[in-house]
Amino acid sequence: MKQKIEAIQEKAFGLIKEAATLKDLEDLRVGILGKKGDLTLVLREMGKLSAEERPLMGKLANQARNDIENLLEEVALNLKQKEKSDKINREVIDITVPGKKFVLGKKHPITQTTQKIEEIFLGLGYEIAEGPEIETVYHNFDALNAPEEHPSRDEQDTFYINEKVCLRTQTSPVQIRVMHNQKPPIKIICPGRVYRSDDVDATHSPVFHQVEGLVVDKGVTMGDLVGTLKLVAKSLFGEKTEIRLRPHHFPFTEPSAEVDVTCWTCGGVGCKVCKNECWVEILGAGMVHPNVLRNCNLDPDIYSGFAFGMGIDRVAMSQSGINDMRLLFENDLRFLKQF
Q: Shortest distance, CB of residue 95 to ligand PHE, whole angstroms?
A: 57
**Are the beta carbons of 153 and 225 closer than 8 angstroms?**
no
- Min dist CB 204 to ligand PHE, Å, is 14
* Closest residue to ligand PHE using C-beta atoms: 309
Q: Minimum Å distance from CB 200 to ligand PHE?
A: 19
User: Taking the complex as a whole, how short is the minimal distance between the CB of residue 313 and ligand PHE, in angstroms?
Assistant: 13
CA terminus-to-terminus distance, the chain: 93
Task: Please say which residue, 23 or 246, places its beta carbon nearer to ligand PHE.
Answer: 246
Q: Which is nearer to ligand PHE, 208 or 264 (CB)?
A: 208
Residues that bind ligand PHE (CB under 6 A): 170, 172, 212, 250, 253, 284-286, 307-309
How far is Cα 308 from Cα 171, in angstroms, rounded to an integer? 10
| Interstrand relation of 186-195 and 304-311 (parallel, antiparallel or unpaired) | unpaired
**CA separation for the pair 329, 339 (Å, rounded):** 14
Q: Which is nearer to ligand PHE, 211 or 274 (CB)?
A: 211
What is the closest distance, in whole angstroms, from the C-beta atom of residue 336 to ligand PHE in the complex? 26
Q: Say if CB 290 and CB 297 are below 8 A apart.
A: no
* CB-count burial class (<10 Å; 0-12, 13-18, 19+) for 135: buried
Q: Which is nearer to ligand PHE, 13 or 159 (CB)?
A: 159
- Chain centroid offset of residue 322 CA: 26
Closer to ligand PHE by CB, 61 or 257: give it: 257
Neighbours of 118 (CB within 10 A): 15
